[in-house]
Structure 1
Amino acid sequence: MGSTNDIDLVTQVHQTCEHLVLNSSEQIEVNDEAIDQFLDQLDIARFQKLSTGWITFPLKFDTVEDEVNLVAILDLLNFGSGYRQELHAACDRGAAQTIIYGCMGLHISQTPVDAQGLQKLTLGDVSGYFGIPLLGTEEAHPSLPGVTISQPSVLRNFAEALTKVLNETGEILQAKGYRSLGHFILDVTTSPSDAAPDWRPSAVELVDRLARTFPAFQDYRVKEGTSVYILKKAQLLAGDLHGRFQDPTSPAYVHFNFDDVDQLSVFSDNVLPTVLLHLGVLKLRDNTLQHKLDKLEPVSDTECWLLRAAAVYASDCLVNRCRARIDAVDETTDSNVAERANQLASLFNAVALDHYLWHIGKDPEIRKLPRLVYQDTVYF
């Protein structure tokens, strides 16, 4: 791990994203006026409705480990947004829907997805379960009249990346003595034998362990002076497990009743920068980058990290501004303002904000907007 100091990785997400954006003011900036406007106009009832991330699936599981394992694999494979157009054209599904479709297929067919099973999955298996074509158009053979050759599908690289992540994760789990990814997560979130009576599991610690153990969760770029950590999938998984197992009667509750979910950042992907730019919270000052986004041209690696980091920092600014408003409430505050602040106090953190922004990204006027395109990644 390329950490430059001993602070936890979630704190590094907040700090490095802020540093990168503040040192890139000639390209992008946060609009404080738009933040206030967003908070003033926020429909709290709609926010509450859209700020829940986990979707309950009508599936049965033999054990808690099996259920945690499926949630974990869904988030482990939560990438491919750069293939959005190609997936819709070939499969009539986006990246997120493709991953859900494939994972549901693996579960329903009872295909083993433990450490050994993940290692055995082939490119053909992934193509079949996830509905990703490996072959594309047929073209005439250059020297044999009447003979055609099938060209590789434009989605083959995506299928290969999914296969590599699954195989690699299985290998690491087996090497470390874990039955499954679910087993690993339950072990990390188990109360130590010497824990205090009021011990609770830590989302920050889970994110740290995931990122330090599995390459597919190592969503960071380490460069002297410009290191940036985002950790989208590891934080998403911690948030999803917390949201999924909120019932105190569930045997998994003690593992995911995190006391530090408020420390997580948003789960920055290709959607959040688009939504925040649309809301005016982010302002792009780089005309070249704006042209790429407008034309759906692939952005560079550096531009991709900047846009995603900007979404994290802008969201942190939103959360901090909301908390400042809540803290400012006293006996002199207008009753309507105070009531609104109190409502937000129980709802508003980065995880809830992420889910809300992602969901309004599906609104027709925002859904049609061009999003950043970047394919060479397994992080979003």
Structure 2
Amino acid sequence: MAHPLPEPSTLLSSIRSSSRLARQNANITISSQAIERLLKSPAFLVSFERVSAQHGLALPLKFSSPLDDLNVISILSLLNFGSGYRIPLHAETGRGAWDNIRLLVFAMFIGGSEEDLLSAQGMQQLNEAKVAELMRVNVYIEKPHKDIPGVTVGELGGPLYELVKLISSVLVETGQLLQKAGYPNLGAFVAEALKEGARHTKPRTSDVQVFLDRLIRFIPAFQDCHIVDGRPIYIFKKALFLAHAITIRFGSISSPSFPVPDTSLVPVFADNVLPSLLVHLGVIDLSSSPSFQSILQDVNLSPDKLQSLFSEMSPELESNVSPPNEGPAVTMDQIYILRAAALDACEMIVEKARELDEPSWIKDIRYTALDMWLWSIAKDRADYRRLGRFSLRDTVFF
């Protein structure tokens, strides 16, 4: 890493404090009134309990053991990126980034006739051609023949080729690290990190912080942080997602073969969806931030638009499915500031919810459930699906 990672005892607090500082330094404002408007809206109250349970982690696969299940969940979390390629993926496959990554992992699960593609050794065999084959995407673009007028030739290139290269590089690198360290697969490493967290007895350091620290330090594709104006912003979206995925998949099992971390106090898993939606809903206010003036024109915050977004979903909207819209492209600095703002906004939303009396369940909202609601409602409602999302390519972190 180009900059130091926080110690396990300060990992969660560093995520929160670095995010708040980044938001404040960028002059991004979040008002209590805007948060209360969201929490009291029909859009939130009617859908929260249903939609926050839509985690996308139900897997139609038959596992030979909980460790095999853990390995698949771990690889799914490792590859939980590609949001910047949402539009070309929809054009090619009719599905977004998450659904395409799920199908890729399913194909890896069933497609290794000679080699277990989910093993450390098998991951290293997943070159660009194999990943493109498993994803069933076209990674060629047509270009004019340089010598023959009117003739075109297929050449490797285009956005989906970029995505395939990113996926292949993460799989190969992680497989090499695992094999070098003596782990048969990613699940074996994750199980060991979970056990190390459960054994940890130092005060002020929770089991989940030890687990996250081990994961982040060992695997570069989980080191989701960035320097802006000389200060680090710690997000660690995929690592937090994996920790909570483990609690969802195994938390109800009476005696799993590995410890299940306590994710009740972890912050949200900030990707590009959360800040996009919170900006459209008027919770994150970019109007005073010099860094985001150029993209404000892409965000319509008219009273009529907000009233529509805060209303309960109508059947007409529910059935009116259309392709997603391209959102504003942002820089690496901008997206980390936006993700930090979303993380901090969710802290403030949960804090405000604890002050409210009605309905009775609202005081008990957890960060993870709020994350799941924001992520899922963005897909659940047709009008929300049409909202442009901040987009950045060439990253393996979201």
TM-score tier, shorter chain, comes to 0.7 to 0.9
Q: CA RMSD in A?
A: 2.4
Alignment of 1:37-52 (within 5 A): 37-41=37-41, 43-44=44-45, 46-52=47-53
Deviation at 1:41, TM superposition (A): 3.1
- Tell me whether 1:288 sits opposite 2:294 in the alignment: yes
Q: For residues 309-359 of structure 1, what are the alpha-carbon distances to aligned partners after superposition, in whole Å with 9 as ceiling and x for unaligned?
A: 111111111112223x16xxxxxxxxxx3x634x2344x111100000111
1:340 to 342, 346, 359: 359
- Tell me whether 1:301 sits opposite 2:332 in the alignment: yes
> 1 CA distance for matches of 2:25 and 2:197?
42
Q: For residues 25-73 of structure 1, what are the alpha-carbon distances to aligned partners after superposition, in whole Å with 9 as ceiling and x for unaligned?
A: 1xx2112101112223365563122222243222111122111010011
Report the secondary structure of 2:40's partner residue: helix
Residues 315 and 136 of structure 1, relative CA distance in 2, 3 Å threshold: same
> 2 CA distance for matches of 1:248 and 1:150?
51
Q: Specify the alignment match of 2:396 in structure 1.
A: 378
- Tell me whether 1:319 sits opposite 2:325 in the alignment: no
Q: For residues 237-257 of structure 1, what are the alpha-carbon distances to aligned partners after superposition, in whole Å with 9 as ceiling and x for unaligned?
A: 1111111112233524x511x
Q: Specify the alignment match of 2:152 in structure 1.
A: 148
Q: Which moved more, 1:5-14 or 1:310-319?
A: 5-14
- Tell me whether 1:244 sits opposite 2:244 in the alignment: no
Matched residue type, 2:175 = G
Contact in 2 for aligned 1:16/1:227 (Cα 8 Å): yes
Which runs of 5 or more structure 1 residues have no equivalent in the other structure?
327-336
Report the secondary structure of 1:98's partner residue: helix
Residues 293 and 83 of structure 1, relative CA distance in 2, 3 Å threshold: farther
Which runs of 5 or more structure 2 residues have no equivalent in the other structure?
301-325
Q: Specify the alignment match of 2:304 in structure 1.
A: none
Deviation at 1:218, TM superposition (A): 0.5
Report the secondary structure of 1:136's partner residue: strand
Report the secondary structure of 1:9's partner residue: helix
Residues 292 and 175 of structure 1, relative CA distance in 2, 3 Å threshold: farther
Deviation at 1:296, TM superposition (A): 3.4
Contact in 2 for aligned 1:204/1:264 (Cα 8 Å): no
Matched residue type, 1:352 = A
Report the secondary structure of 2:389's partner residue: coil
Residues 113 and 24 of structure 1, relative CA distance in 2, 3 Å threshold: same
Report the secondary structure of 1:156's partner residue: helix
1:361 to 367, 373, 378: 378
Residues 206 and 45 of structure 1, relative CA distance in 2, 3 Å threshold: farther
Q: Which moved more, 1:182-191 or 1:71-80?
A: 182-191
Report the secondary structure of 1:8's partner residue: helix
> 2 CA distance for matches of 1:349 and 1:206?
20
Q: Specify the alignment match of 2:100 in structure 1.
A: 98
> 1 CA distance for matches of 2:265 and 2:200?
22
Q: Which runs of 4+ in 1 moved over 4 A?
A: 42-45, 191-196, 292-295
Matched residue type, 2:30 = V
Q: Which moved more, 1:3-12 or 1:233-242?
A: 3-12
Q: Specify the alignment match of 2:235 in structure 1.
A: 230
Q: Specify the alignment match of 1:36 in structure 2.
A: 36
> 2 CA distance for matches of 1:193 and 1:212?
18
Deviation at 1:292, TM superposition (A): 6.0
Report the secondary structure of 2:336's partner residue: helix
Contact in 2 for aligned 1:116/1:174 (Cα 8 Å): yes
2:117 to 112, 127, 133: 112
Contact in 2 for aligned 1:219/1:229 (Cα 8 Å): yes
How many pairs are equivalent?
357
Residues 245 and 44 of structure 1, relative CA distance in 2, 3 Å threshold: farther
- Tell me whether 1:67 sits opposite 2:98 in the alignment: no
Q: Specify the alignment match of 1:182 in structure 2.
A: 187
Q: For residues 105-133 of structure 1, what are the alpha-carbon distances to aligned partners after superposition, in whole Å with 9 as ceiling and x for unaligned?
A: 11122443111111121211100111222
Q: For residues 121-165 of structure 1, what are the alpha-carbon distances to aligned partners after superposition, in whole Å with 9 as ceiling and x for unaligned?
A: 12111001112222122x331223464321334111110000000
Q: Specify the alignment match of 1:333 in structure 2.
A: none
Residues 157 and 66 of structure 1, relative CA distance in 2, 3 Å threshold: same
Deviation at 1:205, TM superposition (A): 2.1
Contact in 1 for aligned 2:268/2:371 (Cα 8 Å): yes
Q: Specify the alignment match of 2:312 in structure 1.
A: none
> 2 CA distance for matches of 1:222 and 1:205?
23
> 1 CA distance for matches of 2:153 and 2:187?
43
Residues 219 and 76 of structure 1, relative CA distance in 2, 3 Å threshold: same
Contact in 2 for aligned 1:8/1:208 (Cα 8 Å): no
Normalised TM-score (structure 2) = 0.83
Matched residue type, 1:235 = L
Q: Specify the alignment match of 1:161 in structure 2.
A: 166
> 1 CA distance for matches of 2:91 and 2:39?
37
